[in-house]
Amino acid sequence: MKIQDFSYQLPDDRVLFDHLTAEFEPGKVNILLGVNGVGKTTLLDFIAGVSERADLPFDGFPEMARIAYQMQGIPFTGSAKVVDAIRMMVNLDRPTAKFDASRLPENLKDIANSHFRDLSGGQRRLVILEGICQLQRDLYLFDEPESGLDVKLAVQMMSRIKTLAAKGKTVIMTTHQFRNLPEDNVHLLVLAGKCIAFTGTPAELMAETNTQSLEEAYLKTDS
Amino acid sequence: MWRKLGILSRFELRQTWDDKMVLFYTLIAPMIFFVLTDLSSNGHPFGVHNLASQLIGYWVYIVLVGILNGFQFALIGMRESNFLKMFTVIAGDKRLIFFSNLVVQVLFIEIEVFLFDLVVLILNSASLPLLPMMAGGLLLNVVLIPIIAGFTNFLLILPLRVNLVSLMTTGYIFVGMFLISPGLGLAPWLNDVLTALNPCSYMIQFYGVGLDILGRVTLAHVGLLAGVAAFYLLVGYYPVRHMKLQSNTSRY
């Protein structure tokens, strides 16, 4: 899955991407790093096909029906029940699939019949994440999935995302958190200066920047 | 495709049912208005003596407000909350979200019109002979509601925020309802022009012809209604195809 020589301007004429080229590795967790406003979500929108993507710069990405996309924000009204929301997502993916509360992971079983309005922000995010992970797609996009989660929930979330890559699925996620990032099966892409400034493993990034931590390495790359 | 539409419709139905406040504007408010004007005007509000004509005026209000509040606003709200974006990716086609909402709104508006008719039948014994007309109105609504959605779909592509759209539609309802008030005494040609521009005028004509209560149904009249319906169904499809999936209130 490649993006080649992609340029894009926002409606207010600011250039967001200037001849951006990026390659995402299949069967791995591809982590897109970058400061706020650099265009991570916009790039995910193009990859998902939410913004019209042309074949030429976007090469090898599956069609929309083969992509799962978790976005920032909670797209349900308070009246939706956890189990109903996930069942609906599963049935849109596989109309004949049976889904009930017993198929939920342990950390969601207690709230299976709760309404979204009765959940905390972190729990809501975890529910959406579970719904996305239940879909059987080729490419999974996660936009800051750990945002608003406590340390324990963030670890659970990252563990759930890693299982997708372990099954051979391709994952592209954006994040601002370095603490929970997996160490293996990871491909980093640093978005800075309107293009991809680095691609490689966390170890390669640290070696290239001559730093001891990923956070330090990222700050050096971005500057 | 049909299965996905059914799944989304069932989910939307549950969501809509839980949000009962919308019933206040589309059902409870006209019911209260009906009772008050009926009492204060000895059954002849706005000088309208014919109960059938009064009833159609209320149907027009229920359908228009139902479409605007329950349908167009719901879709705009889904766009702003990222529901539209996320579920378009999951369902594979944004038209499924649009049509599932339309199906649910047709059902809801039909229930609201039915309940309103029921209240009229209970409160006004003179309305009993209107029973066949009420049944006919419910049948016509199945066709009429999608046409009125076509009239108002332009709201989906306006690059405006929800609050501004809300203000605009309040004005739209006010002007639309004002233009059908019998006291205006508009010339027939002006009524024909309004039939093509004002969804309220269109609905009055549609019920009038469909239920044969205008007493002067002509081929030209039917042709005008069919032409306007075809135009708005076609034009109304454009916003469905080109509606943005991303929020208007934030970059994401």
Distances (CA, A) of B29 to B163, B182, B232: 22, 21, 29
**Cα atoms in the Cβ-side hemisphere of radius 13 Å centred on B103:** 18
Cα–Cα distance measured from residue B223 to residue B229, given in angstroms and rounded to the nearest whole number: 10
pLDDT band at B251 (very low <50, low <70, confident <90, very high): low
Contact between chains at A65 and B92 (C-beta distance less than 8 A): yes
Of A126-130, B55-59, B226-230, B242-246, the range with the lowest mean pLDDT is B242-246
What mean pLDDT comes out for the span B62-74?
87
> From the CA of B222, how many Å to the nearest CA of chain A?
41
Among B8, B19, B78, the residue with its CB nearest the CB of A79 is: B19
pLDDT at B113: 94
**CA-CA-CA-CA dihedral for B81, B234, B142, B33, to nearest 10:** 70
- Residue A80: the pLDDT is 78
Q: Is the separation of the CB atoms in A134 and A169 below 8 Å?
A: no
C-alpha dihedral, A178 to A182 to A185 to A189, nearest 10°? -10
Q: What is the CA radius of gyration of chain B?
A: 19
Interface test with A, best of B12, B75, B81, B90 (most A CBs within 10 A): B90
Using alpha carbons, list the distances in angstroms from residue A139 to A69, A99, A200, B213.
Answer: 9, 22, 19, 58
Q: Buried b vs exposed e over B132-148: b needs ≥16 C-beta within 10 Å?
A: ebbebbbebbeebbbbb
The torsion of the CA quartet A195, A163, A160, A220, rounded to 10 degrees, works out to -30
**What integer pLDDT is reported at residue A192 of this predicted model?**
85
Those of residues 92-121 in A touching chain B at CB distance below 8 A are 92-93, 95
Question: Using CB atoms and an 8 Å cut-off, which of residues 25-44 of chain A contact chain B?
Answer: 41-42
B128, B122, B8, B112: which is closest to B60 by C-alpha? B112
Who contacts B174 (Cβ-Cβ below 8 Å, separation ≥6)?
A: none
Determine the residue type at B207.
Answer: Y
A136 in reach of chain B (CB within 8 A): no
Do A74 and A126 form a contact (C-beta atoms < 8 A)?
A: no
pLDDT score for B138: 95
**AA letter at A66:** R
Residue numbers in B near A16 (CB within 8 A) = none
Residues of A numbered 147-166 whose beta carbons fall under 8 angstroms of chain B's beta carbons: which are they? none
What was the pLDDT predicted at B118?
Answer: 92
Q: Is B248 helix (H, G, I), strand (E, B) or coil?
A: coil
What are the DSSP calls for chain A, one per residue? -EEEEEEEE-TTS-EEEEEEEEEPPTTSEEEEE--TTSSHHHHHHHHHTSS---TTTEESPPPGGGEEEE-SS--S-TT-BHHHHHHHHHHHHSTT----GGGS-HHHHTTTT-BGGGS-HHHHHHHHHHHHHHS--SEEEEESTTTT--HHHHHHHHHHHHHHHHTT-EEEEE-S--TT--SSSEEEEEEETTEEEEEE-HHHHHHHHT-SSHHHHHHHHH-
- pLDDT at residue B63, rounded to an integer: 94
Record the tokens describing residue A58, joined without a space.
Answer: 């976007």
* Residues of B whose CB is below 8 A from A72: 82, 252
Average pLDDT of the residues in B237-251: 76
Q: Averaging pLDDT over each range in A199-208, B94-103, B155-164, B187-196, which range is the top one?
A: B94-103
CB B83 to CB A70 under 8 A?
no
- Residue B115 confidence class, pLDDT cut points 50, 70, 90: very high
ipTM over 0.95: no
Which residue, among A70, A183, A72, has the nearest Cα to A134 in the 3D structure? A70
Q: Which residues pair with A172 in a beta bridge?
A: A30, A141
Q: Cβ A77–B82 below 8 Å, yes or no? A: no
- The rounded percent of chain B whose pLDDT value lies above 90 is 21
Contacts of A77 in chain B (CB under 8 A): 15, 18-19, 81
Beta strands at A29-33 and A195-200: parallel, antiparallel or unpaired: unpaired
- Please tell me which residue, B146 or A180, carries the higher pLDDT value: B146
Statement: residue B47 has pLDDT above 70: no
User: Cα–Cα distance between A136 and A167 in angstroms, integer?
Assistant: 11
pLDDT: is B139 or B244 the higher one? B139
- Please tell me the predicted confidence (pLDDT) of residue B214: 66
Indicate the DSSP class of residue B49: -
Using the predicted structure, report yes or no on whether residue B232 has a pLDDT greater than 80: yes
- Best residue of A12, A16, A38, A88 to probe chain B, by most B CBs closer than 10 Å: A88
Q: What does the longest C-alpha to C-alpha distance in chain A come to? A: 53
CA distance A203 to chain B (A): 32
Per-residue pLDDT at A223: 67
Read off the tokens for A222. Answer: 């971005």
Give yes or no for residue B48 having a pLDDT over 60: no
> What local confidence, expressed as pLDDT, does residue B46 receive?
57
Closest Cα in chain B, distance from residue A213 (Å):
31
What pLDDT tens digit does each residue of chain A (223 aa) get?
A: 888 888 888 878 888 888 989 999 888 899 998 888 888 988 998 998 888 777 678 888 888 888 999 887 766 666 778 888 888 889 888 878 888 778 888 888 888 888 888 888 888 888 888 889 888 999 999 998 888 788 888 888 888 888 888 888 999 999 887 777 777 778 989 888 888 888 888 888 888 888 887 778 778 776 6
Interface contact B15-A77, CB threshold 8 A: yes
d(CA B193, CA B201): 9
Burial of B47 by CB count in 10 Å (0-12 exposed, 13-18 middle, 19+ buried)? exposed
Is B90–A74 a contact, with Cβ atoms under 8 angstroms apart?
Answer: no
Nearest to A75 among B7, B83, B91 (CB): B83
With vertex at residue B224, the alpha carbon angle to CA B220 and CA B225, rounded to the nearest 5 degrees, is 120
Closest chain A C-alpha to B64 CA, distance in angstroms: 24
pLDDT of residue B250: 61
Q: How far apart are the two ends of chain A, measured CA to CA in Å?
A: 27
**Contact: A91, B7; criterion CB under 8 Å:** yes
Encoded tokens for B3: 């299965």
Q: How confident is the model at residue B128 (pLDDT cuts 50, 70, 90)?
A: confident
Give the pairing of strands A195-200 and A186-192: antiparallel
Asked if residue B31 has pLDDT above 80, the reply is: yes
| Residue A120: alpha-carbon gap to chain centroid | 21
Give residues 62 to 91 of A whose Cβ lies within 8 Å of B: 64-65, 67-77, 79-80, 84, 88-89, 91
Least confident of B40-49, B108-117, B145-154, B180-189: B40-49
Name the residue among A175, A181, A206, A83 with its Cα closest to residue A134. Answer: A83
Burial A124-142 (b: 16+ CB within 10 A, else e): bbbbbbbbbbbbebbbbbb
CB contact under 8 A, B252 and A41: yes
Look at residue B143 in the predicted model and tell me its pLDDT. 94
